[in-house]
A and B are shown apart, each in its own frame.
Chain A
Amino acid sequence: MSADPTGLAPFSEDRAESIGMIRDSAQGLLGADMARVRKLRFTEPGFDPALVREMGAAGWIGLMIEEAKGGTGLGHAEMAALAEELGRACAPEPLTSLQLSAALLAAAGHDLLPQMLSGEAIVLTAWQDRPNTLEPATGDGPRRFVPMAAGATHFLFVSGGNLHLLPASDVTLETEQRQDGGHFGTVRPKGALPAPIATGLGEAIAAALDRAALATAAELLGGMEASFAMTLDYLRTRKQFGTVIGKFQALQHKAADARVQLSLARAAVEEAAFELDEGTGGPAIVARAKARASDAAMAVQQAALQLHGGIGYTDEYDQGLHLRRAMVLVPSFGGAALHRARFMALEPETEDA
């Protein structure tokens, strides 16, 4: 599945092997059965806590946490590959948010970390107070858009550079259904915020949010791959006017354009992961990858729906699951316009550029 015909991913053989293993492990655990995904939609908590524990056992929650702290100690490239598989399977488990929380608990040196890494504690980070942002909120007001919040055992409440740990029983939670059948939570502390478990973590929080943006971009990539594969199958089998519709040039060109967007998204996401691992890239290249993945996802999902015709508009057909997941992931950790503006601010042009 990793074998994108668009050239080589720029990884050495060792890395390619470790990435391949992550993908295999992910495909084994997540499966390709959409019935599971469908059953969980529009329910709470909307994901499978037992599967989260399996993800913990597989080392996914602490994928990038150093081994000395109980993590798996892998890099961005493995993280992106895993997120891509999650997207391909359309899994509702909030792995990116769990990885974010694990990074913050590790930075805080908190002793809840082992329970979190095993998937026993479901700690979700409540960091934003408005839509379309990558800036952590300050103060103690409500935190919004916490994914799959109804399943949390704890919330990690971010206020500027401070982290407060709140058991779920200490917050008021309001949920809103999302297009993909999951939900967002609005989290309000019941009383005054408890003393922070760590302070002055501004940089660590920014870095963790950035990593979450890259994981989200990779998850979008997986969703695109899944929808596009379904679309190609459909174009090769659906017949109209006495022939398979994939023979029609108007449809071929639409499919080619989708493929171009997919290739650009893969190039940007994999290059970002590679450069972060090499220490040659930073937030700018992540911003570019999230911007591309977001726009490409909307374009590819729309093309997939259009190429399917009416069947694509039915809830029983799986492509719609990916389309509506994309609607959730595209604005998550910043949408395309936000990230393009960030990229421009982070990487000023030289006169020769």
Chain B
Amino acid sequence: MNAITPREKQDLNLLPDEEFRQHIRSWIEANYPAEIRNPEKRLHWDENKPWYMKLAEKGWLCPGWPREYGGLGLSPAKQIIWTEELERWGCARTNDHGIVMLGPLVIRYGTEEQKQRFLPKILSGEHVWCQGYSEPNSGSDLASLRTEAVDAGDHYVVNGQKIWTTLAGDANWIFLLVRTDKEAKKQEGISFLLVDMTSPGITVRPIINLEMHDEFSEVFFDNVKVPKENLVGQLNKGWDMAKALLSFERIYLGSPRQSAYALTRLRQLAERMGVAEEPVFAATYAKHRCDLEDLKSLYARYVAVLKAGRPLGADVSQLKIVQSELFQRITETALSIAGENGALFGPMEGNRNLNPGALYIQARPTTIYGGTSEIQRNIIAKNVLELG
């Protein structure tokens, strides 16, 4: 293909790890907007955009993409340092579906024309993507999805509904899993389609979650015309392509950062409530802390696999179970010592570090999204333990 010139001229892979870390750290510290450090909620595009565009201008928006596609081409080891530094500084997750999901998929399965058309617009921040996978009747059983794309000659006509679409209202493009063959086995009749959100027939309806936040939306498709050239990969092969990207999500969702953050908050709360030295609390706290450190040890093993450039196995599912369930237990302990403060919608005593009610609510969906804990256990049982 015609190479896309990366905006970052330097090949950062050539820096020794520690130098690389200092290099990106000082840039992040100098450029990340202070007012959005450690946000409590997923930020919307209008809040995220200044940071996102700074990354885009610097050429650092897509650290994992190869340099010939305009990315930084970072090795897995360097990407891990990159993530560690973002987490260290409390950087918000951006509207990153184009960066982490769609881009790699187009690079791997897209045509030359699709690469030239879509990748530069992700790199420039012009296209902001969202992901249309789940449907009202296809949650854990995603492969049963029914939103369909019917062949109408030079285009497809899409009808159906997606749900839990993260930051759909911020996006101008959506990538979809759609049914293109109703007769085939459910996994074999699914295709991968790129859709302009400004197309006639698309309606976005925000969903207010228990945080009273409109992070998710429903997206309705009513006779939406989609050009045929927007199909990625082969017809009816969308399921395998989408699945290939899921192990990234599981290690991301298994990162210890949420639990570590919650434990710090719990410690501050315990001190404020005057229970930090009580034996029963101290024993519970010690258990949470050891659980967190053991999670870090387990996480480090998967990171080592990535660093060695090897594929993650199905058992990465256990990271997500351990992380999300620990996060929940920590927030449950916080609630148990907070008394009436735990019933507050906002922070107690005006201190945003002491917010046990919100933290508890924030931890609830982690065992549901990205594959429920039960689905992860099914995966371990079937694919790791081979219990059929």
Query: Does B245 sit within 8 A of A, measured CB to CB?
Result: no
Q: In the complex, which residue of chain A has the Cβ closest to the Cβ of B288?
A: A340
Known contacts A249-B378, A264-B294, A264-B295: does B286 contact A343 (CB below 8 Å)? yes
Give Cα A10–Cα B387 distance, bound, in whole angstroms: 29
Known contacts A236-B386, A256-B380, A337-B283: does B267 contact A268 (CB below 8 Å)? no
Q: Are B381's CB and A252's CB within 8 A?
A: yes
Q: Are A252's CB and B377's CB within 8 A?
A: yes
Give Cα A349–Cα B294 distance, bound, in whole angstroms: 15
Q: Are A288's CB and B293's CB within 8 A?
A: yes
**Size of the chain B interface, CB-CB below 8 angstroms:** 40
Looking at A268, A341, A343, A351, which has the most chain B CB atoms within 10 Å of its CB? A268
Instruction: Name the one of A259, A263, A267, A341 contacting B286, with C-beta atoms under 8 angstroms.
Output: A341
Query: Does B287 sit within 8 A of A, measured CB to CB?
Result: yes
Q: Are B304's CB and A8's CB within 8 A?
A: yes
Query: Does A335 sit within 8 A of B, measured CB to CB?
Result: no
Q: Are B305's CB and A259's CB within 8 A?
A: no
CB of A238, distance to nearest CB on chain B (Å): 12
CB of B89, distance to nearest CB on chain A (Å): 11
Q: Which of B332-388 contact A (CB under 8 A)?
A: 374, 376-378, 380-382, 384-388
Q: In the complex, which residue of chain B has the Cβ closest to the Cβ of A341?
A: B286
Q: Which of B293-343 contact A (CB under 8 A)?
A: 293-295, 297-298, 300-302, 304-305, 308, 310, 313, 315, 318, 321-322
Q: Are A268's CB and B294's CB within 8 A?
A: yes
Chain A residues within 8 Å of B384, by CB: 5, 259
Chain B residues within 8 Å of A1, by CB: none
Q: Are B385's CB and A232's CB within 8 A?
A: yes
Query: Does A260 sit within 8 A of B, measured CB to CB?
Result: yes
Give Cα A352–Cα B38 distance, bound, in whole angstroms: 13
Per-residue 0/1 for A240-254: is the Cβ within 8 Å of any B Cβ (1 yes, 0 no)? 000010110101110
CB of B259, distance to nearest CB on chain A (Å): 11
Q: Are A291's CB and B304's CB within 8 A?
A: no
Q: In the complex, which residue of chain A has the Cβ closest to the Cβ of B299?
A: A267
Chain B residues within 8 Å of A288, by CB: 290, 293-294
Give Cα A341–Cα B289 distance, bound, in whole angstroms: 11
Chain B residues within 8 Å of A6, by CB: 298, 301, 315, 318
Query: Does B260 sit within 8 A of A, measured CB to CB?
Result: yes
Q: Is the interface of B mostly helix, strand, loop or mixed?
A: helix
Known contacts A252-B377, A259-B318, A260-B318: does B386 contact A343 (CB below 8 Å)? no
Per-residue 0/1 for A265-278: is the Cβ within 8 Å of any B Cβ (1 yes, 0 no)? 00110010000000
Query: Does A211 sit within 8 A of B, measured CB to CB?
Result: no
Q: Are A253's CB and B385's CB within 8 A?
A: no
Instruction: Name the one of A252, A259, A268, A340 contacting B287, with C-beta atoms under 8 angstroms.
Output: A340
Query: Does A255 sit within 8 A of B, measured CB to CB?
Result: yes
Looking at A9, A256, A271, A291, which has the most chain B CB atoms within 10 Å of its CB? A256
Query: Does A7 sit within 8 A of B, measured CB to CB?
Result: yes
Known contacts A252-B387, A256-B385: does B315 contact A263 (CB below 8 Å)? yes
Query: Does A353 sit within 8 A of B, measured CB to CB?
Result: yes
Give Cα A244–Cα B385 distance, bound, in whole angstroms: 14
Instruction: Name the one of B290, B295, B310 contacting A291, with C-beta atoms under 8 angstroms.
Output: B290
Give Cα A288–Cα B293 distance, bound, in whole angstroms: 8
Chain A residues within 8 Å of B382, by CB: 252
Query: Does A76 sit within 8 A of B, measured CB to CB?
Result: no
Q: In the complex, which residue of chain A has the Cβ closest to the Cβ of B321?
A: A260
Q: Are B290's CB and A7's CB within 8 A?
A: no
Q: Are B305's CB and A7's CB within 8 A?
A: yes
CB of A260, distance to nearest CB on chain B (Å): 5
Q: Are A353's CB and B385's CB within 8 A?
A: no
Q: Which of A92-151 contact B (CB under 8 A)?
A: none
Known contacts A5-B313, A6-B315: does B286 contact A264 (CB below 8 Å)? no
Q: In the complex, which residue of chain B has the Cβ closest to the Cβ of A247?
A: B388
Chain A residues within 8 Å of B294, by CB: 264, 267-268, 288, 292
Query: Does B273 sit within 8 A of A, measured CB to CB?
Result: no
Chain B residues within 8 Å of A257, by CB: 377
CB of B326, distance to nearest CB on chain A (Å): 11
Query: Does A235 sit within 8 A of B, measured CB to CB?
Result: yes
Chain B residues within 8 Å of A252, by CB: 377-378, 381-382, 385, 387
Query: Does A344 sit within 8 A of B, measured CB to CB?
Result: yes
Chain B residues within 8 Å of A247, by CB: 387-388
Give Cα A229–Cα B384 distance, bound, in whole angstroms: 13
Known contacts A7-B302, A252-B381: does B297 contact A353 (CB below 8 Å)? no
Query: Does B246 sit within 8 A of A, measured CB to CB?
Result: no
Chain A residues within 8 Å of B234, by CB: none
Per-residue 0/1 for A203-224: is the Cβ within 8 Å of any B Cβ (1 yes, 0 no)? 0000000000000000000000
Query: Does B167 sit within 8 A of A, measured CB to CB?
Result: no
Chain B residues within 8 Å of A264, by CB: 294-295, 297-298, 322
Query: Does B197 sit within 8 A of A, measured CB to CB?
Result: no
Give Cα A253–Cα B321 distance, bound, in whole angstroms: 12
Chain B residues within 8 Å of A344, by CB: 282, 285-286, 289
Chain A residues within 8 Å of B263, by CB: 353
Query: Does B264 sit within 8 A of A, measured CB to CB?
Result: yes
Known contacts A232-B387, A252-B377: does B301 contact A10 (CB below 8 Å)? yes
Q: In the complex, which residue of chain A has the Cβ closest to the Cβ of B308?
A: A8
Q: Are A10's CB and B300's CB within 8 A?
A: yes
Give Cα A257–Cα B380 distance, bound, in whole angstroms: 9
Instruction: Name the one of A7, A343, A353 contacting B301, with C-beta atoms under 8 angstroms.
Output: A7
Per-residue 0/1 for A316-345: is the Cβ within 8 Å of any B Cβ (1 yes, 0 no)? 000000000000000000000100110110
Give Cα A351–Cα B265 distance, bound, in whole angstroms: 10
Known contacts A340-B283, A340-B287: does B387 contact A236 (CB below 8 Å)? yes
Give Cα A259–Cα B295 distance, bound, in whole angstroms: 14
The 8 closest A-B pairs by CB, nearest first: A252-B381, A7-B301, A246-B387, A267-B297, A256-B377, A256-B380, A267-B298, A340-B286
Question: Can you name 6 extra interface pairs (CB under 8 A) apart from A5-B315, A337-B283, A344-B282?
Answer: A6-B298, A8-B301, A10-B301, A255-B385, A267-B298, A353-B263
Task: Give B residues with C-beta under 8 Å from A.
Answer: 260, 263-264, 267, 282-283, 285-287, 289-290, 293-295, 297-298, 300-302, 304-305, 308, 310, 313, 315, 318, 321-322, 374, 376-378, 380-382, 384-388
